[in-house]
A and B are shown apart, each in its own frame.
Chain A
Amino acid sequence: MAKVRGAIVVDTERCKGCNLCVVACPTKVIELNDIVNGKGYHPAFPARHEDCTGCMNCATVCPDMCITVYRLKPQK
Chain B
Amino acid sequence: MEEVKLMKGNEAVAEAAIRAGVDAYFGYPITPQSEVIEYLMAEEPHKRTGMVVLQAESELAAINMVYGAAACGKKAMTSSSSPGFSLKQEGISYIAGAELPCVIVDVVRGGPGLGTIQPSQADYFQVVKGGGHGDYNLIVLAPATVQEMADFIELAFELAFKYRNPAVILSDGVIGQMMEKVVFSPQKERLTDEEVDKLYNSWATTGKKNGRERNIITSLELVPERQEAHNHHLQAKYKKITENEIRFETFNCEDADYLLVAYGSSARICQKTVQLAREKGIKVGLLRPITLWPYPSEAINKLADQVKGILAVEMSAGQMVEDVRLAVNGKVKVEHYGRFGGMVHSPNEVLDALETKIIGG
- A touching B, CB within 8 angstroms: no
Where the two chains meet, the residues of A that have a C-beta atom closer than 8 Å to any C-beta of B are none
Where the two chains meet, the residues of B that have a C-beta atom closer than 8 Å to any C-beta of A are none
